[in-house]
């Protein structure tokens, strides 16, 4: 086993949380996850076990059945599930965006109706923001929500690359309701929409990424949403979105860190056991040094991830740290997966060794939920004070 870092050594509760998650995921982290990922079959049994342990709601208020903890604990959950070999991409939006946004901005009725559902093993909520023509420009969203005389809203437009719609019962949708006359920027609002709503079309987007969760193109054709499903104040959608986007980046980083730990553990074990020329291959610096460098990058990414989570939990400005964590963790995961494959040689691409299928997810997180280029733009402008470049 790879020697663990000292990140949690002074936090007994967090150590126990990690052990509890590891025990829950252990039956699902090998053949089960790989087979479901290969077939695109939802991991219902794994999800139910994680929900039963209270892990998907660890960061939600106790009064609604949650754990009452913070983003730091949710990051632990996402990391440990991935470390066990069963990264759950949908948790990054279900638990890091949708639940906290409803808890923060939802009405008393919405919180009472929706948040207890995070304890139901069959319930999931996905997040719909990305559009074909908007890219990273949230102000340019074109999915339009128009309020009707009876107070309800009607949505028209499209969303693309929406994860896990087929597994979810509801989704948090970002829509444009108007344009700010002063700035010319779009005014946004958030809505809770049933995934089986009339007028909602779902088209599966085939990808080369080996994951249980599928990607979808959504079309909204006069989708009627009750007034009671508007979350927060109309026009404040962008502010509300960012309450969830930093946690999304932090938990995405945690998921990458878990992938890194999982594959690095496999690589180190193999380097100790594989004997060529009468010595383990790990005794050669050509094998040992790249693994050591991978370990360094992983631990730096983990430190930044928990720094970002602590800033967020303390109501500090977590934007810089969240972006840095996501950037560093995605790069570390790619390095760790690649080096694990290289250490195994041809076996690194064999299904039974359980490494190569994780490459696609690690690569995805370099692109989404925010691209590394937009992260660099953020750091250049907000951290270094350079002129805006886009």
Instruction: Name the pLDDT band for 10 (thresholds 50, 70, 90).
Output: low
pLDDT at 8: 65
For 311-331, the three-class secondary structure string (H helix, E strand, C coil) is HHHCCCCCHHHHHHHHHHHHH
- Assess whether pLDDT exceeds 60 at residue 245: yes
Asked if the bond preceding 151 is cis, omega within 30° of 0, the reply is: no
Helix 319-344 and helix 237-273, axial crossing angle in degrees, nearest 10: 30
DSSP state, 370? S
Query: Mind listing the pLDDT tens digit for each residue in 309-337?
Result: 999 999 999 999 999 999 999 999 999 99
Residue 51: how many other CB atoms lie within 10 Å: 18
Please give the C-alpha separations between residue 65 and each of 25, 60, 186, 263, in angstroms, as whole numbers: 21, 8, 36, 34
Two tokens, residue 7? 């990140």
Which residues does residue 156 pair with via DSSP β-bridges, in sequence order? 144
CA angle 268, 272, 276 (to 5 degrees): 125
Q: What is the pLDDT of residue 160?
A: 95
pLDDT of residue 369: 87
The rounded distance, in Å, linking the Cα atoms of 342 and 337 is 9
Residue 2 pLDDT > 70, yes or no?
A: no
> What average pLDDT does range 367-372 have in this prediction?
90
Count Cβ atoms below 10 Å from residue 183 Cβ, excluding itself: 9
* Cα–Cα nearest to 89, from 380, 374, 369, 387: 369
CB atoms within 10 A of CB 136: 14
Q: Which residues contact 268 (CB under 8 A, 6 or more apart)?
A: 1, 2, 282, 291
Would the CA dihedral through 253, 255, 261, 263 be positive or negative?
A: negative
Helix, strand and coil in the chain, % to nearest 5: 55, 15, 30
- Residue 312, pLDDT score: 95
191 and 226 Cβ atoms separated by less than 8 Å? no
* Residue 243 banded pLDDT, cuts 50, 70, 90: confident
Q: Which pair of structure tokens corresponds to residue 16?
A: 């126990």
Mean pLDDT calculated for residue range 119-142? 85
Give the pLDDT band of residue 50 (cuts 50, 70, 90).
very high
**Which domains, from first to last, does the chain contain?**
12-119 (1.10.540.10), 125-234 (2.40.110.10), 239-383 (1.20.140.10)
Q: Is the pLDDT of residue 385 over 90?
A: yes
- 8 A C-beta contact, residue 123 and residue 91: no
pLDDT at 286 over 70: yes
Across the chain, what does the average pLDDT equal? 94
Contacts of 167 (CB under 8 A, 6+ apart): 42, 90, 124, 126, 213
The pLDDT, as a whole number, for residue 298 is 98
Task: Kindly report which listed range (76-90, 123-137, 369-383) carries the lowest average pLDDT score.
Answer: 123-137
**Residue 225 in this model has a pLDDT that exceeds 90:** yes
CA angle (247, 251, 254) in 5-degree steps:
145
How would DSSP label each residue in 238-296?
HHHHHHHHHHHHHHHHHHHHHHHHHHHHHHHHHHHH-EETTEEGGGSHHHHHHHHHHHH
CA gap 80, 255 in Å, rounded: 8
């Amino acid at each position: 086993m790879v020697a663990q870092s000292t990140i949690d050594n002074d936090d007994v509760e967090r150590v126990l949380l990690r052990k509890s998650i590891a025990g829950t995921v252990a039956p699902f982290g090998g053949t089960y996850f790989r087979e479901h990922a290969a077939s695109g079959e939802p991991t219902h049994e794994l999800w139910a076990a994680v929900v039963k342990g209270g892990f998907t709601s660890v960061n939600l208020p106790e009064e609604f059945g949650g754990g009452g903890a913070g983003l730091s604990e949710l990051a632990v959950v996402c990391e440990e599930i991935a470390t066990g070999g069963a990264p759950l991409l949908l948790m990054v939006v279900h638990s890091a965006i949708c639940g906290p946004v409803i808890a923060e901005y939802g009405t008393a009725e919405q919180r009472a109706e929706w948040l207890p559902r995070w304890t139901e093993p069959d319930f999931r909520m996905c997040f719909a923001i990305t559009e074909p023509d908007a890219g990273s420009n949230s102000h340019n969203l074109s999915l339009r929500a128009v309020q009707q005389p009876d107070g309800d809203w009607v949505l028209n437009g499209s969303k693309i690359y929406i994860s896990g719609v087929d597994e979810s019962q509801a989704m948090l949708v970002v829509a444009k309701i108007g344009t700010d006359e002063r700035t010319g920027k779009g005014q946004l609002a958030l809505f809770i929409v049933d995934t089986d709503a009339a007028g909602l079309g779902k088209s599966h987007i085939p990808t080369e990424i080996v994951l249980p969760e599928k990607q979808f193109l959504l079309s909204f054709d006069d989708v009627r949403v009750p007034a009671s499903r508007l979350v927060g104040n109309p026009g404040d959608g962008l502010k509300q979105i960012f309450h969830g986007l930093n946690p999304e980046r932090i938990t995405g980083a945690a998921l990458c860190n878990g992938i890194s730990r999982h594959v690095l553990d496999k690589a180190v074990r193999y380097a100790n056991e594989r004997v060529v020329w009468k010595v383990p291959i790990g005794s050669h610096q050509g094998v040992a040094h790249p693994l050591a460098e991978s370990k360094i990058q992983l631990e730096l990414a983990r430190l930044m991830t928990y720094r970002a989570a602590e800033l967020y939990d303390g109501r500090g400005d977590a934007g810089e740290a969240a972006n840095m964590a996501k950037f560093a963790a995605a790069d570390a995961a790619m390095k760790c997966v690649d080096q694990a494959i290289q250490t195994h040689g041809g076996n690194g691409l064999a299904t039974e060794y359980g490494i190569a299928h994780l490459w696609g997810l690690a690569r995805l997180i370099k692109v989404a939920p925010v691209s590394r280029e937009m992260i660099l733009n953020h750091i250049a402008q907000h951290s270094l004070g350079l002129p805006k470049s886009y």
